[in-house]
Amino acid sequence: VALRPIVFFRREDGAVVALEDRCPHRFAPPSLGRLVGDHVQCGYHGLEFDVEGRCAKNPHGPCLDRMQVRAFPTVERYDLIWVWPGDPAGADPDRIPDLSHLYCDGRRTRFQHLEADYRYDILVDNLMDLSHTGYLHRESAGGPAQERATTIRDEGDVVVVEDVNLRQPPPSAFGPDGPLTDIRVITRWHPGNVIPFDAESVPSGEPLGAGHHLRFTHICTPSTASGTHYFFSLTRDADDDEAGDGASDEYQRGVVVDEDSPMLSAINRVMAGRELMDMQPVLLPTDRAGLRVRRAIDRLIAAEQRAGVDDERVRI
């Protein structure tokens, strides 16, 4: 996670623990060892670490202060494990975005995960600029709208984009809404690259507000310098529709794996680790939200650095 190897395990009481997955002796990953009660035992020479990362047992001599691994604050919420890889003093569970739409009455969510071979910011740019939908997702999303309007606003650290597409061929995910549909997507980028979409479609010309809703949630967690843990889910307003799970999974996997990912992998190869703005890209009006997110990330990193975090930083 964010260039750091992390081992996760559950304590006997069920709470999740996240420790650096690098033993201070010969750097074996403790994840290859075993659990002894609430301790993780390194599988190489048997040093044991407690939930705070301190050496709890050394079978070869005394436990010394230096025999320590880092412990990362974690919270389990919405069936997801939220890890804070920065200064532990800055960990604040209140800053976890509200994703209660994932598990509320009347709704049903299916989660998937992809080890993506492209950098997280290439993925965030993709999610913040849905003008690609009419082209890259022509198959699943129906094709370009005849008219588009986009508004962008900040809500604190959150960047909100509202896209309205008028007179668009109907996307397969929403069901039959007539020969042409109007679609509104409200996208929210939260720090940590948590990006829920609230998407609604109505037969073209009808008022937005009471149409079909689909909620897509994307979490783009940097893994390596050029890879991303891409968690994505689709929430439908149908809590008992177990029979529809297969089609829902297949639809979203098709969009992510067959449509977005080959393009984003190719871009990642061309960019070869360079920063976007260093390559002097041509900018379009549709890039505004992605650029605003980049500025928000820069601002948050600068604030953390001013607070004296001297860690090696990655842009998360």
C-beta of 159: minimal distance to Fe ion in Å? 17
C-beta of 24: minimal distance to ligand FES in Å? 8
Residue 260 sits in the site that holds Fe ion (CB under 5 A): yes
Joined tokens for residue 265: 């992998």
CA distance 121 to 192: 11
Residue 163 sits in the site that holds Fe ion (CB under 5 A): no
Residues near ligand FES (CB under 6 A) are: 23, 25-26, 28, 42, 44-47
Residue with smaller CB distance to Fe ion, 96 or 263? 263
CA distance 230 to 40: 28
Residue with smaller CB distance to ligand FES, 67 or 195? 67
User: Which among ligand FES, Fe ion, none contacts residue 260 (Cβ within 5 to 8 A by kind)?
Assistant: Fe ion
CA distance 30 to 34: 8
CA distance 32 to 23: 11
CA distance 181 to 176: 9
Cβ proximity of 105 and 55 under 8 Å = no
C-beta of 308: minimal distance to ligand FES in Å? 31
Per-residue string for binding with Fe ion, 120-159, x by CB under 5 A?
----------------------------------------
User: Which among Fe ion, ligand FES, none contacts residue 129 (Cβ within 5 to 8 A by kind)?
Assistant: none
Residue with smaller CB distance to ligand FES, 46 or 191? 46
C-beta of 263: minimal distance to Fe ion in Å? 8
Give 3-state DSSP helix, strand, coil % of the chain, rounded to 5: 30, 30, 40
Separation in Å, CA 261 to CA 139, 214, 215, 298: 15, 21, 20, 25
Separation in Å, CA 199 to CA 3, 102, 142, 173, 190: 33, 14, 15, 11, 17
C-beta of 238: minimal distance to ligand FES in Å? 49
Joined tokens for residue 168: 């668009």
Residue with smaller CB distance to ligand FES, 60 or 306? 60
User: Which among ligand FES, Fe ion, none contacts residue 122 (Cβ within 5 to 8 A by kind)?
Assistant: none
48-49, strands of its sheet edge to edge: 34-36, 39-41, 48-49, 55-57
User: Which among Fe ion, ligand FES, none contacts residue 102 (Cβ within 5 to 8 A by kind)?
Assistant: none
C-beta of 126: minimal distance to Fe ion in Å? 5
C-beta of 59: minimal distance to ligand FES in Å? 9
If you ran DSSP here, which 8-state letter would residue 255 be given? I
Residue with smaller CB distance to ligand FES, 42 or 220? 42
Residue with smaller CB distance to ligand FES, 23 or 145? 23
Cβ proximity of 3 and 225 under 8 Å = yes
Chain residues that interact with Fe ion, rule: CB under 5 A? 260
